[in-house]
Chains A and B, each alone.
Chain A
Amino acid sequence: MDCVERHLKDLLEGAVMAWDVVADITVSNDSPEAQVSVADGAAIQVTCEPGPAGGWQWVLSRLNEEIEQPQRRLYPSVLTMLRALREELAPEHRAYGLVITSKSSSL
């Protein structure tokens, strides 16, 4: 999880830029935890924490204004976490699927 902690800020800052979203990223100094705040005031907490199987898992946490409690959602990998974060912050961003052509290049 040290690796995640080391790269969390770059991971989130680069992602929001790729989605063309203006956001303020604040990263904790002593844990793999960050807050992504966007212009409308919404904030999402991104945390990487020990998982049940011994590895780690990702958590997106956002205040549910109806119940005034944070709502936590768990993701097993950085890919699924980023996908969920993008759907939250940039739902209009067009997501492409990877296409592998049927033939190798000659290179």
Chain B
Amino acid sequence: MIPVTVLTGFLGSGKTTLLSHLLRHPDMGRTAVIINEFGEMGLDHELVETSEEDFVELTTGCLCCRLRDDLVLTLHDLLARRRREEVTAFEQIVIETTGLADPAPILQTLASDVALAETLKLANVVTTVDALLGLETLTRFSESARQVAVADKLVLTKTDLVDDDGQRLLSNVRKLNPWAPLHSAVNGRIAPSLLMGSTQEQVDPLRWLGQSVFDGVQPKSAQQNTNDSGPGPHGSAIETFSIVRNRPLCAVTLTLLLQALSEHCGANLLRLKGIVKIEEDPEHPAVIHGVQHVFHPPTWLDHWPSSDRRSRLVFIVKTIQPTWVNALIETLDAEVRQLNNSQPNKGAIGR
């Protein structure tokens, strides 16, 4: 039996960071990773570094909603390729869900496909919880609460960014899930054995459906989960869009853009991540990602991760229009370029 770990957690809570670190560990050799990205254009798969023995498969759409069949097909395809020795004989599978996924239907899918159940066993559900923003997201988003509630292992991330002891967050987390071991990981650093380790007892995918621990969290009906024509269970207010741009952005423009988004969007900017081509250093793309108004400093890559050298920004938002973001970028960049032209010594970039 091949163990499957489902890695979940709300948008920006550090799933991809955690996964990247785990995959660099020698104990994580021969891991097949399935990354599910909820967006027009996925980026996570380009940002996860793997060893020669690991590899990443990508699915789009949201696994918990309309594309659960996609997960089943991907898993069957992986297993078939493994049997035909077309891929590394992986010894475990990690499924990274989208930040908006309700993991329960995914677990249900894994358990309900008879053919898969003969080969795969659910080992762990690992949920990341953002120590900085987790309290608010748990309150505001039922998906976040469900992710915590269903976890076998909880990982508190970004603990280095908070000053208090996080007791209110921990109290809320424990109300939802009083029994999962809770670890902390700064920048994804944690021993794989704590999360993947020995295979846990089989998780019953149905055990959480309708559980009383979801007090205050609206349950989702099966119809909503499978309805292709109606609004999705994430609610119509949450949207995702991407902006692709050929022309590089001035470094100052990027800073001003983040400032404007933080100021005017705030909590409605659920997640922003992107690879940005910077005018002053176009060979080294800047990787940005932020949650709401909190951003990491850009990470500068040594080179573009693929032949696609365009700036790509992925937004997951509420009530924010892509046309507005695009207009903001164009106007800000025009202003910065105009200023740079009038003051040619300005606009130098610092790395």
**A residues near B, CB below 8 A?**
3-4, 6-8, 10-11, 13-15, 17-20, 53-56, 77-79, 82-83, 86, 94-107
Contacts and interface: CB of A to CB of B under 8 A. Distances in A.
Leading 6 A-B pairs by shortest Cβ distance? A14-B324, A7-B327, A96-B293, A10-B327, A96-B266, A98-B262
A97 B263 contact: yes
8 contacts: A4-B334, A10-B327, A15-B324, A18-B319, A78-B332, A98-B258, A100-B295, A100-B297
Contacts, number: 129
Which of B17, B258, B266 has the most CB atoms of chain A within a 10 A radius of its CB? B266
Contacts of B323: 10, 13-14
Contact of B187 (A3, A6, A18, A106): A106
Nearest to A20: B319
Contact of B326 (A4, A10, A99, A104): A10
Given A13-B324, A18-B320, A96-B263, A79 B187 contact: no
B246 interface: no
Given A8-B327, A95-B264, 12 more contacts: A4-B331, A7-B326, A14-B324, A18-B320, A54-B342, A55-B342, A94-B267, A98-B258, A98-B262, A99-B295, A100-B295, A107-B47
B240 interface: no
Majority SS at the chain B contact face: helix
A94 to B, nearest CB: 6
Interface string B314-341: 0000011101111110111011001100
B294 A103 contact: no
A38 B320 CA distance: 19
Contacts of B266: 94-96
Nearest to B331: A78
